[in-house]
Amino acid sequence: MGKPTGFLEYERAPRRDRPPRERIADWKESHPPVEVETLRTQASRCMDCGIPYCHTGRLLAGMASGCPVHNLIPEWNDLVYRGQWKEAYIRLAKTNNFPEFTGRVCPAPCEGSCTVGLNGAPVTIKSLECEIVDRAFAEGWVVAEPPTVRTGKRVAVVGSGPAGLACAAQLNRAGHAVTVFERADRVGGLLLYGIPNMKLDKGVVERRVRLLADEGVRFVTGTEIGHHLPAERLVKDYDAVVLCGGATAARDLPVEGRQLQGIHLAMEFLHANTRSLLDSGLADGKYISAAGRKVVVIGGGDTGTDCVGTSIRHGAAAVTQLEILPRPPDARAADNPWPQWPKIHKMDYGQEEAAALWGADPRRYQVLTRKFVGDAAGRVRALHLVSVEWVRGADGRFAPRELPGSEQVLEADLVLLALGFVGPERTVPGQLQAKLDDRGNVWTDENKMTSVPGVFAAGDMARGQSLVVWAIREGRQAALAVDRYLSYGDTVLT
């Protein structure tokens, strides 16, 4: 490494955010640029650790450990320290099609398995990744690179989220003619409509889509496969089909009062907000407004946080976030050792903003919603809650148990359900008669092929709800399998 003792000499300096009260006044990203010398110093903290677990990309205890796309992190950290930014970008782009996305929205499992983190704070890998690719775009190093030779093979990709875009990019690089079908009015899937603008600026997504189009990828929007176009038609018209439609069937909360007005799935709320923001800067009013409302977000993951941050920017009167799980510990528990993902308590941007406005973290742990109560007009006005404890059952699994006497009522006139997803929608797999696995996802073999010859699946549609970086990996793996399928076992991809 360029600075073998850097991890001993320098402390971690996390990427700075704009102050919460400043950033909630707009929809812009919250991270200002970082000084070059600070970046070089932070890159120098990368150890010559022998075995860089940061890019192993494995599942440990059900959670990601290390980078799923196997980014060559020590190599580009060293290059940043030496000031060789273009070479750092070249190394980064070898493994990750879209570092400008992961550098912004990935929870950074690489940092959770950083060797420096064994006895201190890990290297700021995520912010370094983002700065490398942002500099590459600013310097003009990222340019369209259409393939020099076309194979004559045609591939249809269903869905333009991170898995679909990664798959399309790789297959186009191999020389195949790729058409991506997207049911929304814009390309990007989860990246565009599922993640708010302050977390991932939509200009960043649109810039990458333009590059892919310049390289030869064809995009067809406003076309839902299985509705506007039968899925079987794709099988007939294309040499291969890749299903990358995501795990978009949301988990609902079927308790008494669910039918009341003012209760929405999180993606309804986020999708409408971003579309209105892009169409008119929210001037058209075609979104679910939290302005002046007492908002309750049920669900403690990233989507829940995005609902909190979005509600605050609307001008919510109050925001409470409910989580059925216990509060995580402040430091790793004994049963959560390195290099597993650290299951520790931390505040994301939404919680920081709520605390800045109202003086406290908006999250309440170990609570269960029993029912919703509304007014005479049929609009939600309150939630009836009960506290729970987690106990191990006879089968060895933990489950929540209600605590007698802990009932409580929480006022609300807007409730957002951020409870995750249960799997892919069934329309396309049903039309193709594709086999599902025991979790309801599209089944694939070791080569990403479904039970239908020539039809492949990748991303959340085959894997279940997961991270953007896992979707990129899945898309790349599917592209490799498709290229081999179309090239009689050979491939030019890695």
Please indicate, yes or no, whether residues 190 and 261 belong to a single structural domain of this protein: no
User: Could you give the CA distance from residue 89 to residue 101 in angstroms, rounded to a whole number?
Assistant: 14
Q: Is 201 exposed, middle or buried (0-12, 13-18, 19+ CB in 10 A)?
A: middle
Quick one: which H or E segment has residue 460? helix 460-463
Domain that holds residue 293: 252-419
437 and 467 fall within a common domain? yes
> For residue range 253-276, what is the model confidence (pLDDT) as tens digits?
999 999 999 999 999 999 999 999
Under 8 Å CB-to-CB from 432, ≥6 apart: which residues? 231, 232, 235, 450, 452, 455
Take residue 434 and report the two structure tokens written for it. Answer: 């594709």
- Residue at which a domain ends, from 419, 440, 469: 419
Provide the domain count of the chain: 3
The residue-averaged pLDDT of 378-402 equals 95
The secondary structure of 438-486 as a DSSP string is TTSSBP--TTSB-SSTTEEE-THHHH-S--HHHHHHHHHHHHHHHHHHH
Q: What HEC string does 384-423 produce?
A: EEEEEEEEECCCCCEEEEECCCCCEEEECCEEEECCCEEE
Model pTM greater than 0.75? yes
Cα gap 459→251, rounded to integer Å: 18
CATH number at residue 133: 1.10.1060.10
270-282 per-position pLDDT tens digit: 999 999 999 999 9
Work out the angle at residue 345's Cα, subtended by the Cα atoms of residues 55 and 34, and round it to the nearest 5 degrees: 55
Residues 332 and 266 in one domain: yes
User: Residue 2 has what pLDDT?
Assistant: 74
Q: At what angle do helices 162-173 and 202-214 cross, to 10 degrees?
A: 20
Query: What's the one-letter identity of residue 78?
Result: D
Q: Which two tokens stand for residue 333?
A: 């528990």
Distance, CA of 477 to CA of 491 (rounded, Å): 12
Judgement on whether residues 63 and 194 belong to the same structural domain of the protein: no
Q: 32: pLDDT confidence band, cut at 50, 70 and 90?
A: confident
pLDDT at residue 84 above 80? yes
- Report the amino acid identity of residue 303: T
Inside any domain, residue 28: yes
Closest CA to 255 of 377, 411, 419, 375: 419
Distance between CA 457 and CA 475 in Å, rounded? Answer: 9
Question: Across residues 98-114, what is the average pLDDT?
Answer: 97
Classify residue 392: in a domain, yes or no.
yes
Looking at the structure, do residues 209 and 283 belong to the same domain, yes or no? Answer: no
Q: Which of 419, 440, 455 is the last residue of a domain?
A: 419
Predicted local confidence at residue 153, as pLDDT:
98
Domain identity same for 372 and 463? no
Whether the Cβ atoms of residue 322 and residue 388 lie closer than 8 Å to each other: no
* pLDDT tens-digit readout, 345-370: 999 999 999 999 999 999 999 999 99
Per-residue pLDDT averaged across 5-34, rounded? Answer: 94
Q: Cα separations (Å) of 48 from 52, 113, 117, 241, 363?
A: 8, 14, 14, 43, 39
CA 153 to chain centre: 31
122 and 200 part of one domain = no
**Judgement on whether residues 271 and 402 belong to the same structural domain of the protein:** yes
Does 184 share its domain with 245? yes
Q: Are 83 and 462 in contact (CB under 8 A)?
A: no
- In order, the DSSP letters of 234-246 are HHHHSSEEEE---
Helices (H), 290-426: 302-314, 349-358
Task: Looking at the structure, tell me whether residues 295 and 204 fall in a common domain.
Answer: no
- 79 within domain boundaries: yes
Q: What integer best gives the mean pLDDT of the chain?
A: 96
Which pairs from 276-282 meet CB under 8 Å and 24+ separation?
A: 277/27, 277/197, 278/186, 278/202
Residue 1 placed within a domain: no
Question: Is 126:111 a contact under the CB 8 Å cutoff?
Answer: yes
Helix (H, G, I), strand (E, B) or coil at 211: helix
Dihedral of CA atoms 76, 78, 83, 89 in degrees, nearest 10, equals -10
Q: Compute CA 271 distance to the chain's CA centroid, rounded to the nearest angstrom.
A: 14
List the CATH number of the domain containing 243: 3.50.50.60
* CB 101, CB 191: distance < 8 Å: yes
Same structural domain for residues 131 and 161? no
* Residues 282 and 407 grouped into a single domain: yes
Cis previous bond, 339, omega within 30: yes
Helices (H) and strands (E) in the chain, counts: 17, 18
